[in-house]
Amino acid sequence: MNDTVLIVEFDNGIVANLLAAELEKENIDFIIHSNRDSAYSSLFQLQNGWGHLEAAPADKERILAIYNGLTLDS
């Protein structure tokens, strides 16, 4: 996967894991980047959020629809 764009920023790892499971079911390629750094514990996560998801621009609308379905249902 060469060209990716930032699509979703996460507040926690639970939502990131749920979305990853749904995207795998749909065979959508993605990258989840955590802001955790073992040297600084969770300092960067407190400042910058848990992390984010990147994927191909062509998959953005599908991913956002799945993400919104997960977050609006809770």
Asked if 63 contacts 10 with a C-beta cutoff of 8 angstroms, the reply is no
Instruction: Please report the pLDDT score of residue 72 as a whole number.
Output: 78
For the chain (74 residues), the mean pLDDT of every run of 10, in chain order, is 90 93 97 74 60 96 95 68
Q: Which tokens hold the place of 65?
A: 């629809």
Instruction: Please report the pLDDT score of residue 20 as a whole number.
Output: 97
- Tens of pLDDT, residues 34-52: 876 555 555 555 556 689 9
Domains of the chain: 5-73 (3.30.70)
